[in-house]
Structure 1
Amino acid sequence: MTKVDRKTLESLVCPETHAVLTYDAERQELISKAAHLAYPIRDGIPIMLSDEARKIED
């Protein structure tokens, strides 16, 4: 598992809603509560594409 730069993560927003993202270190995802999406982080790189995101159920 590659280390993720916290400063980079803090500057990212959801591409759908422009809302702040929450980092889930265990699942290696950035969570957009507003869009109900989880964006994967692969090899330390956030994949900020909506079609790559996992839908989150409430």
Structure 2
Amino acid sequence: MSEAQAPQGPAFDRRMLEALVCPETRGVLEYDATAQELISRGAGLAFPIRNGIPVMLVDEARVLDS
């Protein structure tokens, strides 16, 4: 199995987006399926999704390139 086809663990449930907000701005999040991240444009942060679970800690977030 190639790396692109390898399973990445449990899938993220998009319905969670209705309940989740950015912990920094309380704004809307966007789901990036390719990077397995939740994006907060307002805060300029990308929160990782690990094993299907969003890690909503600012210290764990990646700063977005401008």
Distance in structure 2 (CA, Å) of the matches to 1:40 and 1:10: 17
Corresponding residue of 1:35: 43
Corresponding residue of 2:57: 49
User: 1:9 Cα shift?
Assistant: 2.3
Corresponding residue of 1:25: 33
Aligned positions, number:
58
Measured against aligned partners, the alpha-carbon deviations of 1:9-58 in whole angstroms (never above 9, x if no partner) come to 22100000000000000000000000000000000000000000000021
- Other structure's SS at 1:9 match: helix
Distance in structure 2 (CA, Å) of the matches to 1:10 and 1:36: 20
Identity of aligned residues (%): 60
Distance in structure 2 (CA, Å) of the matches to 1:10 and 1:26: 20
Structure 2 residue identity aligned to 1:19: G
Bigger CA radius of gyration: 2
Structure 2 residue identity aligned to 1:41: I
Any unmatched runs of 5+ in structure 2? 1-7
User: 1:6 Cα shift?
Assistant: 1.2
